[in-house]
């Protein structure tokens, strides 16, 4: 692995879900390496505290925050506009925010929450910032997925939002499969642009992604207490993909423990990835961007 202190001076990085867990660690370590870091969270209080904590830990003043509820497409678009107002380029986008919902809920746009937060937010935010990623090229898009994608036997396009048959773990696994399919499809579409796109499994991390008090959430919280690794350990692959010169030209891959790994055969299905892209465009109203 490369030097962990690889400098990021002059780089602009955006990290979603950065007020806790592996997102906060990722943002902190990018700031420690000299990057300008924009932290994205929902709570102003937590975002301000995170920025203050990172500044004190790193001595770096170039840390700021933007607020957005990534379940809302209007807020994602506002986030992209506000980022553009502050910065003329984007070197590293870390799509990190995610959650498991113990019961079926719908976003402000009427979309099942797991799909909205874990996949469509990645899709819409990345596409909304593509011009700035191109301006920052060579630049990097990092999608935090999970080996939980292996729970899904494909994308159920007939019941994508779980209206007929919702299961919390099934929905989560499908959303993580969507992360890898999206990363692969975007990498193919951006070939030759200088933008790399990779997905990763951070490990089973002790975080607060388990939303609700249903049995699935309680079970995951119990597993986390018994078996989970720390956010510091879980963030290592995200940091590696954001900073290492070893992966500057690597794209369309899935990483585990900072090494290329093979995801499930469903995650390598290019026809499924293409269909997911089309459905995602329909659900977000996002025009062809790449």
**228-271 pLDDT per residue, tens:** 678 899 999 999 999 999 999 999 999 999 999 999 999 999 99
* Whether this model's pTM surpasses 0.85: yes
Please classify residue 1 by burial: count the beta carbons closer than 10 Å to its beta carbon, then call 0-12 exposed, 13-18 middle and 19+ buried. Answer: exposed
Which residue ranges make up each domain of the chain? 12-284
Relative to beta strand 259-261, strand 254-256 is: antiparallel
DSSP label at 269?
A: -
> Which residues form the catalytic set?
172
How distant, in Å, are the alpha carbons of 53, 61, 230 from that of 57? Answer: 6, 11, 18
Least confident of 6-20, 131-145, 210-224: 210-224
CATH topology of domain 12-284: Rossmann fold (3.40.50)
Residue 17: is its pLDDT beyond 90? yes
- Split at pLDDT 50, 70, 90, the class of 6 is low
Cα 188 to Cα 210: distance, rounded to the nearest angstrom:
32
Mean pLDDT in the chain? 92
Nearest 10 degrees: Cα torsion 172, 177, 180, 183: -80
């Amino acid at each position: 692995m490369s030097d962990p202190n690889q400098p990021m001076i002059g780089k602009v990085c955006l990290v979603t879900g950065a007020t806790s867990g592996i997102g906060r660690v990722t943002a902190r370590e990018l700031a420690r390496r000299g990057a300008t870091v924009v932290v994205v969270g929902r709570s102003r209080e937590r975002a301000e505290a995170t920025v203050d904590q990172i500044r004190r830990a790193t001595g770096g003043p170039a840390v700021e925050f933007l607020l957005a509820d990534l379940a809302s497409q209007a807020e994602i678009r506002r986030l992209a506009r506000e980022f553009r107002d502050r910065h003329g380029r984007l070197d590293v986008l870390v799509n990190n925010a995610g959650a498991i919902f113990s019961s079926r809920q719908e976003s402000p746009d009427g979309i099942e929450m797991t799909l909205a937060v874990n996949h469509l937010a990645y899709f819409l935010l990345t596409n909304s910032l593509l011009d700035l990623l191109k301006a920052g090229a060579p630049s990097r898009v990092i999608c935090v997925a999970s080996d939980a994608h292996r729970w899904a036997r494909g994308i159920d396009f007939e019941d994508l939002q779980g209206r007929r048959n919702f299961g919390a773990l099934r929905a989560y696994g499908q959303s993580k499969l969507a992360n890898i399919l999206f990363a692969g499809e975007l990498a193919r579409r951006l070939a030759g642009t200088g933008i790399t796109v990779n997905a990763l499994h951070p490990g089973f991390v002790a975080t607060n992604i388990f939303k609700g008090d249903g049995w699935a959430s309680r079970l995951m919280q119990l597993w986390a207490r018994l078996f989970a690794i720390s956010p510091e350990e879980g963030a290592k692959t995200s940091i590696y993909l954001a900073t290492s010169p070893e992966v500057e030209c690597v794209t369309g891959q899935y990483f585990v423990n900072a090494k290329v790994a093979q995801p499930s055969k469903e995650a390598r299905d290019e026809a499924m990835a293409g269909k997911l892209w089309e459905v995602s465009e329909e659900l977000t109203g996002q025009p062809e961007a790449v």
